[in-house]
């Protein structure tokens, strides 16, 4: 495996970013049960996992390499982990002051750090914080609902059984989830206060604020 990687990278100029090559050739072992397990390996062995030969080879390009790797990670079919990795970017855009919600947080982070490898280190520091978060249910409502929106095809949305206001504790990041039978989906975007979450969910689903009660 190592010889095949070395041979391929000898044919590629060092200025070319090719994390996809490394990701495609890395065999996901039984230890990689979730995205977090895989990213732990990226943090420990960035040169190997990000398509380089050594630390010098990837110097100054860790973040763009990581971003490209993240785009192909769904193909690895790993478990989301807890909390779900898919929502990390939404949490980060709400958690980091000054990050616009209309921009991917990791892109904004790279721009803020001017493309330096420090963006790579901050990404994993924030990922560690997110991984420690646990979902706390705070308030819920069972309607009645008068949704203020329509689906893309013009139909009215199915009414959820319950809408739950939740927090990714201990961070000050809040969201609501919609429960339809055995299926639960998270509402977006995330918010920095419980009041703004309640206000937006109430307006979206047309529920009286008095219908909410503590979980």
pLDDT digits (tens, 9 = 90+) for 93-122: 999 887 877 677 888 888 888 767 888 888
pLDDT, position 46 = 79
pTM above 0.85, yes or no: no
* E-only strand ranges, the chain: 134-141, 162-169, 174-180, 183-186, 213-214
For β-strands 134-141 and 213-214, DSSP reports them as: antiparallel
Where in the chain are the domains? 2-131, 134-214
* Banded pLDDT at 15 (limits 50, 70, 90): very low
pLDDT for 57-91, tens place per residue? 566 677 778 888 888 888 888 899 999 999 999 99
pLDDT for 135-194, tens place per residue? 999 999 999 999 999 999 999 999 999 999 999 999 999 999 999 999 999 999 999 999
pLDDT, position 3 = 43
Looking at the predicted structure, is the pLDDT value of residue 12 above 50?
no
The answer for residues whose C-beta is within 8 angstroms of residue 77's C-beta and 6 or more apart is none
The DSSP line for 36-75 is HHHHHHHHH-HHHHTT-SSTTTTTT-HHHHHHHHHHHGGG
* Banded pLDDT at 16 (limits 50, 70, 90): very low
pLDDT, position 5 = 43
φ, ψ of residue 184 in degrees (nearest 5) = -125, 130
Answer with the residue of higher pLDDT: 184 or 33. 184
Nearest 5°: the CA angle 175, 37, 167 is 15
């Amino acid at each position: 495996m190592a010889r095949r990687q070395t041979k391929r990278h000898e044919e590629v100029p060092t200025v070319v970013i090719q994390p996809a090559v490394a990701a495609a050739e890395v065999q996901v072992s039984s230890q990689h049960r979730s995205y977090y397990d895989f990213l732990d390996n990226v943090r420990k062995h960035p040169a190997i996992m990000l398509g380089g030969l050594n630390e010098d080879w990837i110097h100054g390009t860790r973040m763009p390499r990581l971003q490209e790797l993240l785009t192909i990670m769904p193909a690895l079919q790993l478990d989301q982990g807890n909390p779900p990795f898919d929502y990390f970017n939404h949490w980060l855009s709400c958690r980091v002051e000054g990050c616009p919600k209309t921009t991917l947080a990791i892109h904004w982070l790279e721009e803020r750090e001017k493309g330096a490898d420090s963006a790579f280190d901050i990404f994993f520091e924030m990922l560690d914080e997110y991984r420690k978060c646990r979902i706390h249910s705070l308030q819920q409502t069972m309607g009645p609902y008068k949704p203020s929106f329509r689906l893309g095809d013009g139909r009215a949305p199915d009414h959820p059984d319950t809408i739950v206001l939740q927090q990714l504790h201990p961070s000050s990041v809040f969201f609501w989830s919609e429960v339809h039978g055995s299926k639960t989906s998270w509402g977006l975007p995330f918010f920095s206060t419980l009041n703004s979450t309640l206000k937006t969910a109430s307006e979206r689903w047309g529920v009286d604020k008095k219908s909410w009660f503590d979980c």
